[in-house]
């Protein structure tokens, strides 16, 4: 028997404020058509004044817990992926822990930018596989609207705020690719490319800073590395692209999503796409897409999923799981 981390609940939360592309036309040399042609994005959500990443994460966590039919007090561990935590410390995860009434477990943040949720899932899987936890709440949450340069049309139109969450529970499987739950993970990073995507602030500068990105270079690395990591994760469990029911990618840019799917050998009819409605929500994008995919009736129990993401670092990875 093999101890598996099986998805028991999923949920998401998006701030009330919806920002259409047309809003940027008032202050930037841009247009709805320009933004759509380069990113596929039509709209995104921005957090309200005073609304924090942990607030968004809490709402997504509560939705996932309700979907799983369990109380927050029953969770053993909380792993929260974010690059926009409320404070330098304590972690946003401990804030969520308090908000859901959990006192017996432990909570921590994972920071791998847009790849954060893949890293968080891998960590949660390891906690369950090793017996350190039976139920893990995994969250991706971001308020990237707080780190935008509103004069840079190449970046500020791409990002949005939101949160998504999964409840994972330990179950025994047969140790085959037919098992439900997380089947394999593949994580990578290469710090030589850290200057391609970063925030120019932090503790060293004593200011928050804003996001900076070399878009063309990030695009080039993304397509190559995302297809590669997805293939590697599938190969680890003896599977291939033909076995995949759904690819649930990081929702950064429709052109990256399309190019990666083609390189992976998967048609777009098997790719969950939400970038048009949410923009790039960094670590929140995959759990948001998972939750929307379930709500839309796309993702069903027993489906084989591949999630893949790349972010600043550069950091990238993939997870193969059976829903």
260 neighbors 249 (Cβ within 8 angstroms): yes
Active site residue 250: yes
Choice among 102, 123, 125, 280 that is catalytic: 280
Q: Is 270 exposed, middle or buried (0-12, 13-18, 19+ CB in 10 A)?
A: middle
Cα distances from 196 to residues 204, 211, 220, 279, in angstroms, run 19, 10, 11, 20
Q: In this structure, what are the phi and psi dihedrals at residue 170, rounded to the nearest 5 degrees?
A: -70, 130
**Residue 188 annotated to the active site:** no
The residue written with tokens 């410390």 in the block is: 89
Check 45, 250, 253, 278 and give the catalytic one: 250
**Helix segments in 50-171, DSSP class H:** 53-68, 92-99, 116-129
Question: What b/e readout covers 80-90, taking b as 16+ CB neighbours within 10 angstroms?
Answer: bbbbbbbeeeb
- Taking residue 98's Cβ as centre, other Cβ atoms within 10 Å add up to 14
DSSP state of 48: P
The residues pairing with 19 across neighbouring beta strands, listed in sequence order, are: 44
Q: Which of 45, 114, 156, 221 is catalytic?
A: 114
Cα–Cα distance measured from residue 164 to residue 142, given in angstroms and rounded to the nearest whole number: 10
Cβ atoms of 280 and 38 within 8 Å: the answer is no
296 catalytic, yes or no? no
With 0-12 / 13-18 / 19 or more C-beta atoms within 10 angstroms meaning exposed / middle / buried, residue 117 is buried
Query: So which residues are the catalytic ones?
Result: 114, 250, 280
């Amino acid at each position: 028997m093999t101890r598996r981390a099986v998805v028991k609940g999923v949920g998401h939360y998006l701030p009330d404020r919806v920002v259409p592309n047309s809003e940027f036309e008032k202050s930037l040399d841009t247009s709805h058509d320009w933004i759509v042609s380069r990113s596929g994005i039509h709209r995104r959500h921005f957090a309200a004044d005073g609304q924090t990443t942990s607030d968004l994460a809490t709402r997504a966590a509560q939705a996932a817990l309700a979907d799983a039919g369990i109380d927050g007090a029953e969770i053993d561990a909380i792993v929260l992926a974010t690059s926009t935590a409320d404070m330098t410390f304590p972690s946003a995860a401990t804030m969520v822990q308090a908000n859901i009434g959990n006192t017996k477990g432990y909570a921590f943040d994972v920071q791998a930018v847009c790849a954060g949720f893949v890293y968080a899932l891998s960590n949660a899987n390891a906690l369950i596989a090793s017996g350190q936890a039976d139920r893990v709440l995994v969250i991706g949450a971001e308020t990237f609207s707080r780190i935008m340069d509103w004069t840079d049309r190449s970046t500020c139109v791409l990002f949005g705020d939101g949160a998504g969450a999964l409840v994972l529970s330990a179950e025994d499987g047969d140790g085959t690719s037919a098992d439900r739950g997380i089947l394999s993970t593949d994580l990578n990073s290469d710090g030589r490319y850290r200057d391609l995507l970063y925030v120019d602030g932090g503790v060293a500068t004593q200011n928050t800073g804003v996001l900076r990105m070399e878009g063309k270079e990030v695009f080039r690395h993304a397509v190559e590395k995302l297809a590669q990591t997805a293939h590697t994760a599938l190969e680890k469990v003896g599977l291939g692209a033909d076995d995949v029911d759904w690819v649930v990618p990081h929702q950064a840019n429709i052109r990256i999503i399309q190019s990666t799917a083609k390189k992976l050998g998967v048609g777009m009819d098997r790719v969950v796409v939400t970038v048009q409605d949410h923009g790039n929500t960094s670590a929140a994008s995959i759990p948001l897409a998972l939750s929307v995919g379930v709500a839309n009736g796309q993702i069903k129990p027993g489906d084989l999923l591949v999630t893949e993401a790349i972010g600043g670092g550069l950091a990238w990875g993939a997870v193969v799981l059976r829903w």
